[in-house]
A = this chain, B = another copy of it.
Amino acid sequence: MGRGKIEIKRIENSSNRQVTYSKRRNGIIKKAKEISVLCDAKNLSNELDRIKKENENMQIELRHLKGEDITSLQFRELMRIEEALENGLTGIRNRQASSFIPTS
């Protein structure tokens, strides 16, 4: 490509590396958009965004269940979380209790 062929190995010069990165990254993104239109595919980048968003939501939910970052929550939200926690505890305790059923 370009003015000459290059070997595929780490580019040591950091500014060249950065320039190549941003040029090639744009190229890849363009191709990804094209394939998503041409082939009706969900395209790597959209999927990445979707999964990242899902990830973020689960992190928030986990923190809430652990009692973190809850200062800004509304009362209804707190009630919902409390109920989820109580249900979880009930499930866990039933499971623990069943572990103790004598085998004879």
B-contacting residues of A (Cβ < 8 Å)?
6, 8-11, 17-18, 20-21, 24-25, 27-28, 31-32, 34-35, 37-41, 44-45, 47-48, 51-52, 54-55, 58-59, 61-62, 64-68, 70-71, 73, 75, 78-79, 81-82, 84-93, 95-96, 99
A22 vs B28: C-alpha distance when bound (angstroms): 16
Instruction: Establish whether residues B35 and A25, one from each chain, have CB atoms under 8 Å apart when the complex forms.
Output: yes
Instruction: Establish whether residues B24 and A34, one from each chain, have CB atoms under 8 Å apart when the complex forms.
Output: yes
Smallest beta-carbon distance A52→chain B, Å: 6
Smallest beta-carbon distance A69→chain B, Å: 10
How many copies the complex holds: the figure is: 2
Instruction: Establish whether residues A82 and B96, one from each chain, have CB atoms under 8 Å apart when the complex forms.
Output: yes
A60 vs B25: C-alpha distance when bound (angstroms): 34
A55 vs B35: C-alpha distance when bound (angstroms): 26
